[in-house]
Amino acid sequence: MSLAAIQIQKSFNNTQVLKQVSLHCEQGEIVGLLGVNGAGKSTLFKIIMGLVSADAGEVSITTNKGKMLGGIIEKPALYEYLNAAENLRAFGKIQGAPVSDAATTSYLERVGLDTKRSDRVKNYSMGMRQRLAIAIALLNDPPFLVLDEPFSGLDPMGVTRLRTLIMELARERGIGILVSSHLVDEMIRTCDRIYVINNGKIIREDTPRALVEKSTSYYLISGEHLERSKVLRDNGALIQGHTARVKEPPKGIENIIKDLAEEGTKVFSCVPETDIKKLLDVVDE
Ligand SMILES: Nc1ncnc2c1ncn2[C@@H]1O[C@H](COP(=O)(O)OP(=O)(O)OP(=O)(O)O)[C@@H](O)[C@H]1O
């Protein structure tokens, strides 16, 4: 089973916002669409969801399932004055597939929401809303999910939990997930494959590893007694407390980590300092 957008074109008021955009997502795969504000992510997802029509191109979903696609575009739309179970039942009715009490509980459990909670969703945090919206999108078990900027507005804990949920849905349930974001770090951590969109055009398709390499010049290394490290000094690192900012040398960051281990410096983490502009600049050259 696969989902594909093929050569999609779209203009608003004579301005082309999608230029021959093609992408695909297979079952169980998490595919990212990474781009800055206004790049065309939401428009493409709306076209894939059938909410907006394309001027040219086609969306193809090969599946034998009844409901092919579930999704959240922009902010999750929920009935504020209903509780979570009532929301699921209301959306089930709209989708023409009434949800039993047992199924309601199972959908809430699947997205990690408290099945006992009975107050209206008006009181819910952004993270809880996203989860409930995903439960609604999962009604009738579509093989594909489209999530537009699901991480926006979440606190760091909410981001981690949502990422875990997305990964579980893909790995354990085989759902193909298309997810958009303007955050390189989030895409790198979450996705199997990433498309970069700029000015309505897909300008690259990469693995997370390749994107880290292309979007990163500096790494933040956390560890113990970094100020005593000769390796960091020799590599011109800027050290502040337990953190050192170091430029990746031509021989690769992994060699600095290896040298630090040999030197006896304890390292807790090494995180790339990603910059989306580096991905866009390369193409502008
Ligand atoms: N209905 C519309 N009418 C006119 N212009 C539109 C419409 N919808 C989107 N656009 C324009 O299309 C371009 C792409 O917008 P889109 O919302 O797809 O970008 P995005 O990458 O999702 O951005 P963001 O991350 O800010 O949501 C923007 O210039 C936007 O102003």
The model's pTM: 0.87
pLDDT of residue 285: 38
pLDDT of residue 281: 60
> How many domains does the chain fold into?
2
Amino acid (1-letter code) at residue 64: N
For residue 134, pLDDT over 60 is answered with: yes
In a domain, 211, yes or no: no
- ipTM for the assembly: 0.94
120 lies in the same domain as 235 = no
Q: What is the average per-residue pLDDT within 216-237?
A: 95
How many residues comprise the chain? 285
Please state the φ and ψ torsions of residue 234, each to the nearest 5 degrees.
-60, -25
Mutate to test the pocket of ligand 1, among 42, 148, 183 (most ligand atoms within 8 A of CB): 42
130 lies in the same domain as 173 = yes
d(CA 186, CA 189): 5
d(CA 216, CA 172): 31
In a domain, 228, yes or no: yes
For residue 190, pLDDT over 70 is answered with: yes
Mutate to test the pocket of ligand 1, among 43, 45, 179, 195 (most ligand atoms within 8 A of CB): 43
User: Which tokens hold the place of 202?
Assistant: 């897909």
Name the residue among 190, 217, 214, 188 with its Cα closest to residue 203: 214
Q: To the nearest whole percent, how much of the chain has pLDDT over 90?
A: 65
Q: What is the average per-residue pLDDT within 268-283?
A: 82
pLDDT of residue 265: 96
Relative to the CA of 18, which ligand 1 atom is closest? Answer: 14
Q: Which protein residue has the closest C-alpha to ligand 1 atom 3?
A: 12
Select the highest-mean-pLDDT range: 7-11, 91-95, 141-145, 180-184.
Answer: 7-11
Question: Domain span at residue 231?
Answer: 216-284
